[in-house]
Amino acid sequence: MKKITRFILLLAAIVAWGNVVNATNTECAGTSTETSTPAQGTFTLGYNYSFTTSGTDVTFTCELLDSKVGLVAYAWTYNPNFAETQMTQGTGQSFSKTFTGQTLNSTFSVACKFAFAGGMAVTKTFTYTVGNACGGSSDTQAPTLFTATKGTVGSNSVELLLNATDDSGAIAYTISYGTGPTVVTTSGVSATQKSYVVSGLAPSTAYSFSVVAKDAAGNAAANNPIVVSATTTAIPAPAVSAPTPPTYSAAKVISIFSDAYTNVAGTNLNPNWGQATAVSTIQVGTDNVLKYANLNYQGTQFGSDVTAVSMKYLHVDVWTPNETSLQIFCISHSTGEKYVQLTPLNLNAWNSFDIPLTSFTSQGLSMADLFQFKIVGAGGNIVYFDNLYFYDNTASVDTQAPTSFTATAGTIASDGVELLLNATDDSGAISYTISYGAGPTVVSTSGVSGVQKSYTISGLTASTAYSFSVVAKDATGNSAANSPVVVSATTLAGLPAAPTPTLAAAKVISIFSDAYTNVAATNFYPGWGQSTVASATTMGGNAAMKYTTFNYQGVELGSHVNASAMTKLHVDIYPTTETAVRITPISPGHELSISLTPLTANTWNSFDLLLSSFTGVVTSDIYQFKFDGGTGKTFYMDNLYFYNDTATGLNAAESSNTICYPNPVVDKLTVSAQSEISQVAVRNLLGQSVKVVSVNSTSKSIDLSSIASGHYFVTVKLANGQVSTQKLVKQ
């Protein structure tokens, strides 16, 4: 009897298992033992699953057939990103979760994680089409009462108000517009108005939106399609000026951009930092206003360093039709950049922000040496700015003059004199005015109370005596009692030329040197947001580059350079006051800096750097250089070039028995040698190969008729390893 009972139980189990495996599963419902991929846990008896759509809501139900203790379930969704939400337990081990507001006929992906005492198991991922009844009652009734009208119209969007009634409880709307056309879909609940905003449109443009209403079974409303016409508005712009700033004395304000005050002279409102932003100055009412279109980020370069230690606030007025996120950065020479978020941003109205400077100093920013602003937006929007200024709103009147005022000469060069300035004042900041020469020339700078300020007067004449008259005042205009202090200094004799290179031109690819032909169209003054002022000068009758207020400076080559045949990089540096310089050759996506050390002041320092030292830089594709690491001082640069110094390098003398003729050549060049030639390569002055020929004999005639007229190098490689390079003129 026991054997018969066991047989019947075993047979029942087999039948049950067969039902699980062979059950007829559909997209809407079924039974399975399949686990997730990758597999997480296992099932014995498996699970039931089902999907139903009610209107635009999808309910997913899963029931675990294996008996487990402490069972809970979670829905794993992937629409499009992964999310996990706990499901509601029903009868027994059945759990469900309803996902509202789905789009009819879109796909919905979900899996169920069963967690229980001692483990968990995850079902396969199911993909369900929203609205699919999977062979349920046939729906033949089309939507009725279909309407489509326009709602709110903006400069870049149009709202469509959609409605229809259907017995299924949900409506699918398909909207077509523009050339192509562009097609979008959305869903709504039967007899409930659906608001759908079509975005990304062009301003001031007429559009026609063709709207079709269907139910999930594909039954179409009888009045399909409805065409909705709408013309987007122009992008709003401010019609009135920003609020007029308060009246402050000159001592209480440092203005960067405002019609209400005197702005810092020489400020560059649109330095080239590689930004996408388009900057313009427009008139709004009677005021000048900065317009940033397509804003990603934008810099402002002050005409001179700003010492704002005596100020309390930074003010800025902002107007925008569409910007959602805006940051303003203050940038210091010594402490870098820190930002504050401008919020809230009310659209189509002036937003006035008074930012306590403690918002920046609490982040470690120094207010003693500010030199730039930076604005960063969400990307691609329009923002208007006015009244950017620092101010002190306290009512107290400063009557205390600076004390302990000193001015002495620091480093003296042939074309410049460093002045070391210091004074103490209760306001925390000092203004120095320096007069010198015929006229006189008058310049000004600012410093922090009790902190020595280094200021270099440049552009002076060599071997000339100068007297610099220096006045120290606070922001209110109180002058130090011992003003002016006169500093006398005689500039040094003119600076010497850099050492003349002696390498043969065939061994060199030159970037900057009077001794060679340089890479054409190279830009030595690209705007990379640097504080450095780069200028061409003459030293001992030889061209040189001068870098002042040096922090970093780029060089953009006129074309990409192939320096793979070179072994070293040469540069000459003449520091007057600068103490730190690094050089960086750059290939696309790769750069490495090497410090030029030691640097001896007031003499030429020559550096020959192994190209192999610049790990990661692709020497066959150099397109930029960068000098950096500076301390805000001055140095000169000359003779920047690549060269080859190997014994078998580009040296014609080493294989003097190699002959290339005729030279100049019109079309046919003959190359001969006493031993076998393996290869002949013709390169232009940038080091780029224009003709490479395999030879394997002692003589070869090479057709150069297709090569443009100009100067070239012919490199002959012999089978014995010797290399000879000769200069060639192509007529």
Are 308 and 256 spatial neighbours (Cβ–Cβ below 8 Å)? no
Judge whether residue 342 has pLDDT over 50. yes
Of all residues in the chain, what percent carry a pLDDT higher than 70? Answer: 94
In whole angstroms, what is the distance from residue 466 CA to residue 460 CA? Answer: 9
Q: What is the pLDDT of residues 34-68, one digit of tens each?
A: 999 888 899 999 999 999 988 889 999 999 999 99
8 A C-beta contact, residue 99 and residue 88: no
Spatial separation of the C-alpha atoms in residues 268 and 255, rounded to whole Å: 13
pLDDT at 7 (0 to 100): 35
Q: Identity (one letter) of the amino acid at 628?
A: D
pLDDT digits (tens, 9 = 90+) for 253-290: 999 999 999 999 999 999 888 789 999 999 999 999 99
Question: Considering only 8-12, 321-325, 712-716, which range has the smallest mean pLDDT?
Answer: 8-12
Q: Start-end ranges of CATH 2.60.40.1220 in the chain?
A: 652-730
Fold of 2-129: Immunoglobulin-like (2.60.40)
CB atoms within 10 A of CB 395: 6
Mean of the per-residue pLDDT values of the chain: 89
Lowest mean pLDDT among 93-102, 537-546, 596-605, 655-664: 655-664
- Percent of the chain whose pLDDT exceeds 90: 65
Structure confidence by residue, pLDDT tens digits, 457-472? 988 988 999 999 999 9
- Which CATH fold topology does 144-231 show? Immunoglobulin-like (2.60.40)
Q: Boundaries of CATH 2.60.40.10 in the chain?
A: 2-129, 144-231, 403-490
- Top-confidence residue, 662 or 581: 581
- Between 414 and 392, name the one with better pLDDT: 392
| 333 or 129, which is more confident | 129
Q: Thinking of the domain 505-643, which architecture would CATH place it in?
A: Sandwich (2.60)
Q: What is the mean pLDDT of residues 477-498?
A: 94
Give the pLDDT mean for 358-364: 96
Write down the pLDDT at residue 670: 86
3-state SS, residue 439: coil
For residue 619, give the nearest of 558, 687, 703 by alpha carbon: 687
User: 2.30.30.100, 3.40.1350.10, 2.60.120.560, 2.60.40.10: which CATH number matches 403-490?
Assistant: 2.60.40.10
Give the DSSP letter string of 112-173. EEEEETTEEEEBPPEEEETT--SS-S---PPPEEEEEEEEEE-SS-EEEEEEEE-TTSEEEE
Q: Say how far apart CA 336 and CA 338 lie, in whole Å.
A: 7
Determine contact, residues 308/363, Cβ cutoff 8 Å: no
In one-letter notation, the amino acid at residue 602 is N
- Segments of the chain assigned to CATH 2.60.120.430: 250-391, 505-643
pLDDT of residue 137: 64
Task: Name the CATH architecture for the domain at 250-391.
Answer: Sandwich (2.60)
CA separation for the pair 207, 177 (Å, rounded): 7
- Report the C-alpha gap between 260 and 273 in whole angstroms: 28
Domain at 652-730: CATH architecture? Sandwich (2.60)
pLDDT of residue 55: 86
Residue 494, pLDDT score: 87
The pLDDT value recorded for residue 587 is 93
